[in-house]
Structure 1
Amino acid sequence: MKARSKLLTIILIAALTVLSACGTTNTTTEQPKTDTSKKVVNIGVTYSPNTLNPLSPVGLVSSYVTGLMFLPLVEIDEDLTFKPMLADSIETKDNQTFTINLNKDAKWTDGNPVTADDVIFTFKLMANPKVASTYAYMYAIIEGLDDAGYLPEGKEDISGITKVDDHTLTIKTKAPTTLSIFQDSIGRYLLTVPQSALKDVAPENINKSEFMQKPSVTNGPFKLVEYSRDHYVTFEANADYFKGASKLNQLNFKVLQPTAISSQLQSGEIDMNIPSAGVIPIADYDKIKGLQGIKTTDGPAIATQFMYINEKTVPDAKQRQAISYAINREMIVNNLLKGSGEVVDGFFTSYSPYVDSGIKPVAYDPEKAKSLLQESGWDAGKTLTLTVLSGDSTLEQAANIMAENLKAAGINVKIQMADLATLIDKIVALDYDLGILTVSMVPVNPLPDVAYFLGEGNPNGYSNPEVNKLLASLGTEVDESKIKQYYSELQKIVAEDVPMPSIYATRPLGAVNERVSGATPKDFGMFNNVNEWDVK
């Protein structure tokens, strides 16, 4: 049970970032120190960077902050391609042995080169149960690690990882996998740390070490100056950054309320936001878009609201179909989100390369819902509890609309608000009727999430042998056309079984002051070229 709860928590990390932004209580006036004679950019975020630990970033903001100090091997961009960061390239000839070619110019801030030994040392830390990395499960595909991504007891080396030379290593996976999946699961989530600085620290003490509280030897474009977890992070440029020193002198992250993001964009106190991690309230979208000197971008639909349905409570597919037909998704998107979203009722949004555009979202049809309920013998006196994550006013309003829709179709619903930990515990224990949570899937590698939500031990009590076969095929297929075919078949089955209907996906707004050049607010790849940013 604990393992399932931890996995669901990990899957929901991106969602936690967005949702917690709406409930943050930071009202302090504590601000980073800024030298007005220097080139400085201030970024507004609505969620605290809870840790600077590159072995276990928690949430989007922690990932962005640590990634500025410790580069991933590669990073995804908004076009869903992977860009070289610490590695010049990742290559494979057989989709099972992957060669990582490190940038030979990469070096630590102490002047030493970044080597394959550092990368392998980091892999071993991530795979050590005493370190208990948040992302260890991503490495379970590597030969020599168990299904949780850890080294078996008594083992010190990872059999699937081999050093070729100082700047080259190979990694062998347990089964063939695509280059994209390898780049997403291994390339993006390994933030290499310096062996020289940590080799004498016992693994069980790594997370609490002084280095992890204030990293002093890094390899990214910026170096840490000051960190106040719930308030701000201040960086200075790494003058010796191997990709070229930043044109900026200082980069600040400021933790703010969503309404303060809007007001400080207007006042110039911040220069930009991160769309899904520096959330602008939907009510402020028009105002921000109308500001002079501010350029805005509508982000792609990534964060999706899913309805978990406990099949112990709602066992008949017709009843689950009725729930889906009863919900007026168009009204939620048009009225509540003011068009800043899209209607979704499957696992993939329009941003996903695997969405089957031939499968249309279920249309709002309360009469169809009533008919299906009648056919299934639904007990009209039954009341379902809809558990909703607290702290997000938009989600709460959407839940109220859903409850009214369901009541009109003949399903009595009462709403129960819950914090994240309580809601996750209820879902994992199947101690709920209906639940609403936000999930953000990486478009190029949705299988870990989809398998969790539909496969054995899923949080809905759903079971379909045909789905299990498709999930198994997706786990070993390397032909992209076949992968798309399998996902298409999966979407058709899900449309009939309705194990976990989605409702809508939001389109976050990004904004940047025109005095900043080279920077575009976006959820994927925003900081890939941060060393090229400049200010007028």
Structure 2
Amino acid sequence: MLLLGPFLLAACGGDSSDGGGGDGGDTTLRVTRDGPIFPVFHPVRATDNTYPLLYLIYSNLVHLESDEKTVIPDLAESWEASADATTFTFTLADGVKWQDGEAFTVDDVAFTAWWGARYPDAFQGLPMVWTQIEGAEETAESGAELSGVEVVDDKTIRFTLSAPNADFLQALANAPNVIVPKHILENEDADTIEKVSATTESPIGTGPFKLTEYAADQYVQFEANADYFKGAPAVDRIIWKILPVEQMATQLESGDLDMALGLDQSNRANLEGVEGIELVESTSVGMVGLYTRTDAPYLQDKRVRQAMYYAIDRQGLIDNLLDGAAELLWNPPGINYENLNQYAYDPDAARALLKEAGWDENQVLQVVYWKDMSNAAKVLPIIQEQLAEVGIKVELNPLEIDDWDDMVTNPDRRTEWDLDLEFGGSFGLGPDQSSRSYGNCEGPKVQTGFQDCALAQLFVDGRATTDQAERDRIYGKAAAIINDAADAIYLWQPILLTPVSSKVGNLEVYPFDRHSFMRANEWTMD
């Protein structure tokens, strides 16, 4: 990502080509977040920093309060769920328009669900919910109508799921499930959706802001949607600045940036005491961890993977390199239960496990990672030393983000790495979030390659009941299997920093900070 020169405050004028404002008196909020933007503004690319921008352009059926659990209206003004969590009926709000002036209808909702079920492999990032609807497999195969969708009348729609899911409503609030316009996208398929101007240059939603300009590697500019169905936003303009992380603190200090989400705590020293900047802390729902390629012959034995856990002084790294600004993990967040093996630092235990497993100390493991990931350059050399102390040799391979992403997701390149330093995710939103990693027991190897059909079934069982005690029991069993498998060495859950200008009002920072943009229409700017 390239550094963008400072923006001028809109009140001081400025040309829109440099991210400035328009006429005097307009309010402009300049925001950023650590990480990349993929410039396709459609839910197929609800990843990284494109994810929050979708909330500016589009709307969901429902949104969430900042507790990440309480479901609140968005396009749906009300809803009913069956007791067995298989049928969900939504009544849509009145007076909603697309940003091109066309009326929003129940057919747009039905189309969005059909398109998602028809082209499930087109979606990146967090999974969308439309494949859970009855008939989704047939739709994917033939393009047939989605049998589990019933348009009851001109403002009511009913979904019938193929299996119970007590988390369905909550999941609907995620950005992959924003509602898209049928009249614009009905002729697009998985091959064209990322190439048309309606997703790359001029997306049309029902959300609070319209995308008006995208300058590659510089900024994305949004103007308030005066016809937004909840009322025109209080801020006239939002500019998402695309910045390298090392420039964010500088621009916050200089007043060229108003808010930066998801910053590492290493920025605290530069920002504490800066006049007009408030520091908001929140524990990330994501994680930092080392994925192991469990289908590699030398990593198939779980004792080798467990030995890595014992060999890495995770708490020491948190205390000494992160200034304590993280929470220790021994499982994915959201399913990191206290009664599990916490793999406390124990090099002797690591050596014993490696001896039992017949570890070959001449084997060299390849560790791949995004070279610009926060703290990677100072954390990984210490992990390398600690693994070497127990007899595990690793080489560190920093990569450009596109190369790294391709290497760890492309099946044809799967043998090019052994350990992958991963970060982010939404695990902490609840136990079922881990089903994305552990909910499949067949098919091609992805991520760590660990597959367990009994574990996958536990996630199905957990979704199928609304009894909280029973859900806790089920997810406890799933957590124990994950903990013992040690397919990934979960390191820590970062405590992130969101510096915000005191000029910004009505901001709630959600635990999953990208969800904060669900309330962007309520933000103010003095």
Q: TM-score, normalised by structure 2?
A: 0.85
Change in 2 beyond 3 A, CA 1:115/1:187: farther
Superposed, 1:233-382 pairs within 5 Å as 233-275=220-262, 280-311=263-294, 312-348=297-333, 352=334, 354-359=335-340, 361-382=342-363
Displacement of 1:480 after TM fit? 3.2
Pick from 145, 148, 151 the counterpart of residue 140 of structure 2.
Answer: 151
My pick for the range that moved more, 213-222 or 284-293, is 213-222
Change in 2 beyond 3 A, CA 1:25/1:313: farther
My pick for the range that moved more, 363-372 or 519-528, is 519-528
Change in 2 beyond 3 A, CA 1:529/1:375: closer
Change in 2 beyond 3 A, CA 1:378/1:273: same
Q: Aligned equivalents of 1:203 and 1:301: distance in 2?
A: 32
SS of corresponding position for 2:352: helix
My pick for the range that moved more, 396-405 or 424-433, is 424-433
Displacement of 1:121 after TM fit? 2.1
Q: How many residues align?
A: 501
* Residue matched to 2:131: 140
* Residue matched to 2:381: 400
Superposed, 1:72-87 pairs within 5 Å as 72-81=60-69, 82-87=71-76
Pick from 70, 75, 95 the counterpart of residue 105 of structure 1.
Answer: 95
**Structure 1, unaligned stretches of length 5 or more?**
1-23
Pick from 50, 59, 78 the counterpart of residue 89 of structure 1.
Answer: 78
* Residue matched to 2:13: none
Percent identity reads: 25
Q: Aligned equivalents of 1:285 and 1:484: distance in 2?
A: 37
Displacement of 1:344 after TM fit? 0.9
- Does the CA-based 8 Å contact 1:226-1:233 persist in structure 2? yes
**Root-mean-square deviation over aligned CA pairs:** 3.0
Q: Aligned equivalents of 2:318 and 2:120: distance in 1?
A: 45
Displacement of 1:130 after TM fit? 10
**Structure 2, unaligned stretches of length 5 or more?**
7-16
- Does the CA-based 8 Å contact 2:260-2:498 persist in structure 1? yes
Q: Aligned equivalents of 1:131 and 1:490: distance in 2?
A: 26
- Does the CA-based 8 Å contact 2:120-2:140 persist in structure 1? no
Q: Aligned equivalents of 1:457 and 1:396: distance in 2?
A: 32
Q: Which amino acid aligns with 2:132?
A: I
Pick from 201, 218, 225 the counterpart of residue 205 of structure 2.
Answer: 218
Pick from 195, 205, 209 the counterpart of residue 182 of structure 2.
Answer: 195
Displacement of 1:129 after TM fit? 3.7
Q: TM-score, normalised by structure 1?
A: 0.84
Q: Aligned equivalents of 2:525 and 2:293: distance in 1?
A: 52
Change in 2 beyond 3 A, CA 1:299/1:118: same
* Residue matched to 1:422: 407
Displacement of 1:264 after TM fit? 1.0
| Correspondence 1:503 to 2:488 | no
Q: Aligned equivalents of 1:271 and 1:430: distance in 2?
A: 43
- Does the CA-based 8 Å contact 2:55-2:175 persist in structure 1? no
Displacement of 1:267 after TM fit? 1.0
* Residue matched to 2:515: 525
Q: Aligned equivalents of 1:406 and 1:264: distance in 2?
A: 39
Q: Aligned equivalents of 1:60 and 1:434: distance in 2?
A: 21
Q: Aligned equivalents of 1:424 and 1:186: distance in 2?
A: 26
* Residue matched to 1:160: 148
* Residue matched to 1:433: 418
Displacement of 1:519 after TM fit? 1.6
Q: Aligned equivalents of 1:185 and 1:336: distance in 2?
A: 38
Q: Which amino acid aligns with 1:328?
A: D
Change in 2 beyond 3 A, CA 1:320/1:122: closer
Q: Aligned equivalents of 1:371 and 1:199: distance in 2?
A: 60
Change in 2 beyond 3 A, CA 1:404/1:122: same
Q: Aligned equivalents of 2:345 and 2:412: distance in 1?
A: 27
* Residue matched to 1:118: 108
Change in 2 beyond 3 A, CA 1:265/1:496: same
SS of corresponding position for 1:506: strand
Q: Which amino acid aligns with 2:209?
A: F
